[in-house]
Amino acid sequence: MTVLAKLIAVAAATTAALMMLAGPGQAQERRAPASGAELRLSYAPVVARAVPAVVNVYAAKQMPRNPLLDDPIFRRFFGVPGQSPDQMQRSLGSGVMVDPSGLVVTNNHVIEGADQVKVSLADKREFEAEIVLKDSRTDLAVLRLKAAREKFPTLDFANSDDLMVGDVVLAIGNPFGVGQTVTHGIVSALARTQVGITDYQFFIQTDAAINPGNSGGALVDMTGKLAGINTAIFSRTGGSQGIGFAIPANMVRVVVASAKSGGSAVRRPWLGARLQAVTPEIAETLGLPRPTGALVANVAPNSPAARGGLKLSDLVTAIDGQPVEDANAFDYRFATRPLGGTAQVDVLRGGKAMKLTIALETAPDTGRDEIELVSRSPFQGAKVANISPALADELHLDAAMQGVVITAIADGAPANGLGFRKGDVILSVNGQSIASTAELKRATSEAARLWRITVQRGGQQLSVVFGG
C-alpha cells in the first residue's frame, strides 16, 4: 500500500470514528485506542454540537446606597464629584439551553438575589432573562429569555446513571469571564457525598478544568449530551486543581420539568421518613460485612413510607434495583423518581430481606401560615411558619415534627444578631409552649424585661435568656 493510500485509509477511519462520536442517539463506546491514529482523534464534532447551547449568564444586584455618598465633601475625596458610583454587585456564570423556546438552566448561586439577569449566547447576542424557578436544595435555577421569537439550539439530557469512572467528558463555560471555553477530562468519581453546597449530595467528580465562571455550564459526554451542570471546585488557590463537581443530569431533568410545567417550586417525591448513615458499629450490630445502606430513624404517620410498610430500624439496601450505599444515595435516587408511580424499596428487617412498594407523591404543604415577626423581641426580623410535611422535608426536620420553625432571617435583624438560625424550631417563649405562628406572634407582641426561649436545633434543645 502506498503512503498516500495509507493516509487515505487513516483519514477514512478517523472520519468514521468522529461520525460515531457525534452521531445522535448513540451510546458512548468504551474501548482503548486501537492505533496511534485513533489517539489523534478530535473532539471537535462533539464540541460543534454542544457549544451553541451553552450560554453566559450575567447577574446584577442593587446594593444599599451608602448615605455618606450624599455628602459632597466625602464624594469629592472618595467618589466621583457630582456623581454616584455604581452600587451594583455583579456575578458571572454559565448556563445551558434546555428548551428551544429559550429556557436556560444554571446554578442558583449564580443568580441568587439578582435584580437583573442577562444571557449572552455563543453568537454574542444578549437577551434579558427572567427567573422562572429557583431551587436552593439542588443549587439549580431556570431562566427564560425575554422577547425571544425563535427556536434556540439545545442540549439533550444524558442518563447520568450510565456514566462510568474513566469516561471522557467535556466542560463548557465561561471561566474568569474570558469567553466560552472548552476543557476535557474524565469522570474521576461518581456519587460524591462530602461536597456540601446542596441538599442532594450525589455529585459527578471530574478532572476537566473548571474555574470561577464555569458554574452553571455544561458537562458533556462523548455523544454530545448533557451529563451534568458544573457547580463547584475544590481548590486551595481559587483556580482549577483537577477536582470539579457537577450535578447529575437526572437531577437537572427534574428541576427543568417543574419549570416547564409552570411551577414556581420543584415537585419531587416525599418519603415521609428520616434515614441515617450506617456506621461501622451499626454494621457490626446488624451483622453486615461492611457499612452500607440507610437506616430508618423516623417514620411520619400516614406518610408514603408508613403506608408502604417502612418501619423504624429497617435497613434500606436498594431502590428499583439500584444499590443504596448511604442515606445521600437514597435521597438522590428517590428524588429523581417520576411522580405518580411507585418505587420498589429493598429492606432488611431483622436479617430478613423484604420488598416494599412506596407511592411517589408530593408532601402536603397546607397550613404553613408563614409570617414575619416585626414587634420588638429577640425574634424581630425572622420569618416563621407552621411545620408542614413539605417544610419538614425541605429543612431536614423529623418527618413527624410539629410546631413553628424559623424559615428565614433578614440580614442585620435582631434575630440574626442573637444567633437564631433558619431551621430552629421554637418550642417555648417565657414558659408558654408554642404550637402555631399565631401563638408565637401573640407571645412576642407583649413587652418583657427578660425573654426565656427554648428552641430545638439539630435534635438538641437549647434554652437561652435575653434581656428586654
Please identify every residue annotated as catalytic: 109, 139, 215
- Each residue of 163-183: b (16+ CB within 10 Å) or e? beeebbbbbbbbbeeeebbbb
Determine the angle formed by the axes of helices 327-335 and 249-260, rounding to 10 degrees: 40
First to last CA, the chain: 95
Q: Which residues contact 400 (CB under 8 A, 6 or more apart)?
A: 298, 299, 300, 301
Name the grid cell of 111. 443568580
Q: CA 164 to CA 33: how far, in whole Å?
A: 17
Q: Which residue has the cell 397550613?
A: 367
Q: Is 377 buried (19+), middle (13-18) or exposed (0-12) by CB count in 10 A?
A: buried
Q: CA 196 to CA 107: how far, in whole Å?
A: 14
